[in-house]
Amino acid sequence: MSDTVIAPSQTQRRFPLWRNPILWLFLLLILSCAMWLFQGISGNYDFILMLRAKKLGALICVGAAVAVSTVIFQTVSANRILTPSIMGFDALYVMMQTLLVASLGVAGFAALASAPKFLLETGLMTGLALALFGTLLHRGARDIARMILTGVILGTLFRAGSGLLARLMDPNAYATVQSVSFANFARAQTDVLSIAAVVTALALAAAIWLGPRLDVLALGRERAISLGLPHARIVILALVLVAILVSVSTALVGPVAFFGLIVAGLAHMISNHMTGGARHRVLLPVSALVAITILVVGQTVFERLLGQQATLSVVIEFAGGLFFLWLLLKGKIR
Amino acid sequence: MIEIKNVSYAIGGAKILQDINTVIPKGSVTALIGPNGAGKSSLLNLIGRIEPLQTGTIDVDGQNVTTSHSGRLARTMAFLGQHTAVASRLRVSELVAFGRWPHCHGRPGPEDHEKVADAIAQFSLRGLADRFLDELSGGQAQRAHLAMTFAQDTPWVLLDEPLNNLDMAHSRILMRKLSDLRDAGKSVVIVVHDLNQAAAWADHLVAMKHGRVVVSGAPDEVLTPDWLSALYDTEVQVLRYADRPLVLSHV
């Protein structure tokens, strides 16, 4: 190694515009959105565009929510194999929704306006997630095997809980619950779209603010505290954001177990490759753009080309499951 | 100065520290010594507010470590512990730049760049600045973390076994840097096992055993055969070399 002199700029890595992955992914996303909106359009333009735009909005919210929540969760838990879904976050959401329907009845549940209902669910979800996962993550979650096991057990518990409740309630109520119990990108719940979009936008803004702090958090608890980061507060804030974002995506399309894992993995690969690092101010937008693009392109292919012969969620879960196994077998657990 | 008053600490049922009362003087190099499990690292962790205090108080230059603003404390003291594994993939220069976080919060100015470049140069990391941390040897990584701690540029520097992984040459260089810091008016607290490093470079020693302070004072007062034999439960001889105590314990 030659003993070269360090230019001050070297300590803060700048990269040329053409190496900015956000720019390229954004262009790609615009293209795929245009394709989604205008492909094979004929007849009643206004109606079709409106319908497609609503669905597109839901896909954008879901993609951004899944990606950003996964990246944040992986940083907080200091490993790259856990996702909020694997830890049972969305199962918790489904159970809570089932509980609400069971306690209020279908009429009561339907009587709630969609926006307050969504906010109520999200609030409850955030409280529960904090109570359950806050203590688990507070000490920096050094024991990954125990974390995974805890997640599997909690996930099973929540799913079994909602299963039990579903068997106890009448078929009408069950039908109400069922729509949120399985992932379905084609029939996104667009009635909560506007409030979900607002919540997602706020959460994303908070996530971007959190970005540099997450970089410090990733140095480990000891170093983060000695640099003056209010560690406990940042962990709690991150968990709140994760809970909110998981609520958004689960409310819109239902639980998606492995999608976040693929997207976070891709985002780390892209930002490492193109910017030579993994700063959250790059990582978070990249992961969101990748996720939305995959959803929009995938949904276009499945809905228009394959004519609903297969469903996107199944393919994504299959690919994600393989990726999860590959991570496990390669020993990438940290 | 660091004032430690009535500090006790327990993990589960095990009493790690029992009623510690001591003062660590400003403007000196202080070494915490003692056998394994004496509570040295726990005490340093409590001073560095890595773990919350259970009983007692600790003040660093008059700032209470429990109640003071953590960001301000980060400009008063820099702490380097033994757990330095970093989850994210970072280059050496990026890691060192994080040392400036308490001053610039992610928006480094010219002064920050200067301090970072200086710390990289001081620990002879220039050739390694663009390498990723996971591509370094244990000693090189330790130097990168030390450089980050120096870049933080605080009046107090707390280091837990900083000589781990360092070879003879780099150990001596580090100890000399610490005494340079002292000469520049800063204060250093280290946990160290090599008593001869402590004898050669420290001004003040705090000897601990079973979670209590056994004796503290200047090296000449603490590094005596009687104290050391009692401290380590083994026979220790002390010679003199270059007007400093020389501890012989290996034969």
ipTM for this model:
0.90
- Looking at residue A13, its pLDDT comes to 52
Q: Which residues contact A246 (CB under 8 A, 6 or more apart)?
A: A65, A69, A84, A85, A89, A90, A93, A125, A129
Residues 174..233 of B with a Cβ closer than 8 Å to A: which?
A: none
Which residues of chain B neighbour A11 with C-beta distances below 8 Å? 93-94, 96-97, 108, 112-113, 116-117, 120
pLDDT at B237 over 70: yes
Paired residues of B8 in beta bridges: B55
- Looking at residue B108, its pLDDT comes to 87
Give the percent of chain B with pLDDT over 70. 100
- Looking at residue A6, its pLDDT comes to 44
Structure tokens at B133: 């941390």
pLDDT tens over chain A, length 334 residues: 334 444 444 444 556 777 788 888 999 999 998 888 888 777 788 888 888 888 899 899 999 999 999 999 988 888 788 888 878 888 888 888 888 888 877 777 767 777 787 888 888 888 888 887 777 666 545 566 677 777 788 888 988 988 888 888 777 777 777 766 676 776 667 778 888 899 999 999 999 999 999 999 989 888 999 999 998 889 889 988 998 998 888 888 888 878 898 899 889 888 887 877 778 988 999 999 999 999 999 888 888 887 766 677 778 888 888 888 887 787 654 4
**Entry field: residues in chain B:** 251
What DSSP string runs through B139-194? HHHHHHHHHHHHHT--SEEEEESTTTT--HHHHHHHHHHHHHHHHTT-EEEEE-S-
- Looking at residue A290, its pLDDT comes to 93
Q: What are phi and psi of B35, to 5 degrees?
A: -70, 170
Q: Which residues contact B17 (CB under 8 A, 6 or more apart)?
A: B7, B8, B9, B39, B42, B43, B46, B211, B212
Q: Chain A: which residues have CB within 8 Å of chain B? A: 1-6, 8-13, 75, 78-79, 212, 215-216, 218-223, 225-230, 272, 276-278, 334
CA of A80: which chain B residue's CA is closest? B87
What residue segments make up the domains of chain A, in order of their start?
Answer: 59-330
In eight-state DSSP terms, residue B239 is E
- Does B99 touch chain A if contact means CB atoms closer than 8 Å? yes
**pLDDT higher at A38 or B41:** B41
pLDDT at B202 over 60: yes
- Looking at residue A317, its pLDDT comes to 81
CA angle B153, B154, B157 (to 5 degrees): 105
Q: Which CATH class is domain A59-330?
A: mainly alpha
Say which of B79, B86, B91 has its CB closest to residue A219.
B86
Q: Is B15 helix (H, G, I), strand (E, B) or coil?
A: strand
**pLDDT higher at A2 or B111:** B111
pLDDT tens for B67-110 read: 999 999 999 999 999 877 777 778 899 999 999 999 998 888 89
Distance from CA of B199 to the nearest CA of A (A): 28
pLDDT tens for B150-195 read: 999 999 999 999 998 889 998 999 999 999 999 999 999 999 999 9
Contact state of B117 with A226 under an 8 Å Cβ cutoff: no
Give the CA radius of gyration of chain B. 18
- Looking at residue B95, its pLDDT comes to 92
CA dihedral B52, B55, B56, B62 (to 10 degrees): 20
pLDDT tens for A121-152 read: 888 888 888 887 777 666 545 566 677 777 78
pTM: 0.87
Query: Minimal CA–CA distance to A291: which of A52, A65, A124?
Result: A65
pLDDT at B129 over 80: yes
Say which of B73, B97, B127 has its CB closest to residue A2.
B127
CA of B130: which chain A residue's CA is closest? A10
- Looking at residue B35, its pLDDT comes to 92
- Looking at residue A274, its pLDDT comes to 80
Mean pLDDT of B39-44: 94
- Looking at residue A85, its pLDDT comes to 83
Distance from CA of A101 to the nearest CA of B (A): 42
Distance from CA of B171 to the nearest CA of A (A): 21
Which parts of A87-192 fold into alpha helices (H)? 89-111, 114-138, 144-168, 171-181
Sign of the alpha-carbon torsion through A126, A208, A273, A58? positive
- Looking at residue B250, its pLDDT comes to 77
Q: Is B217 helix (H, G, I), strand (E, B) or coil?
A: strand
Distance from CA of B106 to the nearest CA of A (A): 6
- Looking at residue A3, its pLDDT comes to 41
Q: Is-contact A277 A13, C-beta < 8 A?
A: yes
* Residue where the block lists tokens 């870049």: B151
- Looking at residue B12, its pLDDT comes to 83
